[in-house]
Structure 1
């Protein structure tokens, strides 16, 4: 009896490395769910990363768009999927930090997901049209104080990262302004160029092509440091608002309960993809920095962002659209 138990134990021991390897294998096809429409920054990043991962994993990696509720619909969907690595989410500051503080979402951004890797952090930008004469941060603040409740600032929607960047700016500057929400960056930029609004907070990804064409002027960016892709655009932090940090970010997560070996495999592979020269150049063009790192670092980042944006929503009195 003892000999039989020894043989079974030995066989189990020999099988363990194989089981560990199997647990780390990515079984496809894999879906990366995006909570926004095709063509936006989140969607483009998911497709860039997904194409490279598909080659690494020798399987198809498909991007599936489930737009709505600033990413919350997609997040709620992924939270209910099996934790086998076949369904991932390109998480976003909206889905995992802002929406839970603003909406009655059907998931817990920390408890219901397995963080895999940060993909990138992107500043938002304060912009205006070329005809606008007042185009420095200090002059804008002075103008808003001269005309309280008259100067308009657009964003890509109520509760968006860009809206909350405006709210942080408004609260720190102690100014009274008009917020004009749009359904995305497209109509926002169109009205900014057309003169229907005075200023806009937009994503760096969306604003950059118009800045390069001279159709929009970049006034300031919203991270603590200047993005390498826009080295001549000052930050709000260096323009009289120390500590103002209002960035958008993206990262891969899966449902809770994913096998640790699989998470480590995926994290390592995402980091390899992010280090590829063509991918790094693409990320730089979006203003995306601070990519990669461990899944533990990404988990801690999500927790800190959740706390930060919940406070901004509360302090600014932001309410969801009725």
Structure 2
């Protein structure tokens, strides 16, 4: 069938929107914020399917193996398309060759925060403390190979700091142990850490964001403290399997842009602490490649493995 005919006849049935994580997290919230209105725009239901496991790779593999006619799409995160593939040689997919980028829907700031009773209360004193005491302190993340892990390793490679990684099975348990003081430092997405920051149980030291956040006006960005390469937000985008027609990709992309004009949809996404991006397929593909390249370099430089 010619591409134009494919686009005109698409969609012919409901569309599967695969979320490679469990319900309730930022990825799931953003997917559900756009799913129902996108279905109305496209004329067929968009059904969210959560396919969690293996740091998001199970769901990512499901997207890769989906039909190429646009009826299977999925959510892409830095973990599934950059950091995990960079460290896991057996992941089973190539994030550049095996997926079609559609749009980066939104991006979320990341934050280094410490337990409220940690000796250092600002970024400068934090860096001085951990560098004076190599190997003494540990940091928690949502899991090995995730964005928090590799972004902290990038931070370590640039500063020369030596802190030990304590991986957890998700941000929730990592936060619990950091808030309790079991692990003093955490690198996390801001939305999940923010409630603990707001009530004073975690102290934010530095954020990955384009500029200082209105919610944390006294916290510098990584760019401000001389670590521009670490100033990378977590993206939540839409992808499909490689081989989709350009016309179908453009139809889905246009539908998402229309959905994001709705103030209620935007608010639902922004309430997670995310910033709307809504770029084009080429721009999102370039973002994915840039993230993948930088984390492959981090893995090589730091000698990281999943063992």
TM (normalized to structure 2)? 0.92
Structural mapping, 1:146-165, within 5 Å: 146-165=132-151
Structure-1 residue corresponding to 2:45: 60
Deviation string for 1:98-150 (max 9, x for gaps)?
22221112222122221111111212111122222412111111111222211
Aligned Cα root-mean-square deviation (Å)? 2.2
Question: SS of 2:12's equivalent?
Answer: coil
Q: Give the aligned length.
A: 306
Q: Larger radius of gyration, structure 1 or 2?
A: 1
Question: 1:293 deviation in Å?
Answer: 1.7
| Cα offset, 1:296, TM superposition | 1.5
1:269-321 deviation digits (Å, cap 9, x = unpaired): 11122232122223333332251121111122222222111111211222114
Q: In the TM superposition, what is the alpha-carbon distance from 1:267 to its structure 2 partner?
A: 0.4
Q: 1:224 to 1:17 in 2, by over 3 A?
A: closer
Q: CA–CA distance in 2 between the matches of 1:216 and 1:49?
A: 31
Encode CA deviations 1:191-232: one digit per residue, 9 max, x unaligned. Answer: 111110111111112112222233322221123433455444
Distance in 2 (alpha carbons) for counterparts of 1:230 and 1:60: 39
SS at match of 1:238: coil
Q: 5+ unaligned residues in a row in structure 2: which ranges?
A: none
Instruction: Name the residue aligned to 1:100.
Output: 85
Deviation at 1:20, TM superposition (A): 6.3
1:43 matched to 2:28: yes
Of 236, 240, 244, which residue of structure 2 is paired with 1:250? 236
**Partner Cα distance (1:60, 1:251) in 2:** 19
| 1:115 lines up with 2:101 in the alignment | yes
Matches for 1:165-314 after TM superposition, within 5 Å: 165-227=151-213, 229-289=215-275, 291-314=277-300
Does the aligned pair in 1 maintain the 2:270–2:276 contact within 8 Å?
A: no
Q: Is the 8 A contact 2:212 2:220 kept in 1?
A: yes
Q: List gaps (5 residues or longer) in structure 1.
A: 1-15
Aligned 8 A contact 1:149 1:176 in 2 = yes
- My pick for the range that moved more, 146-155 or 223-232, is 223-232
1:73 pairs with one of 50, 58, 63 = 58
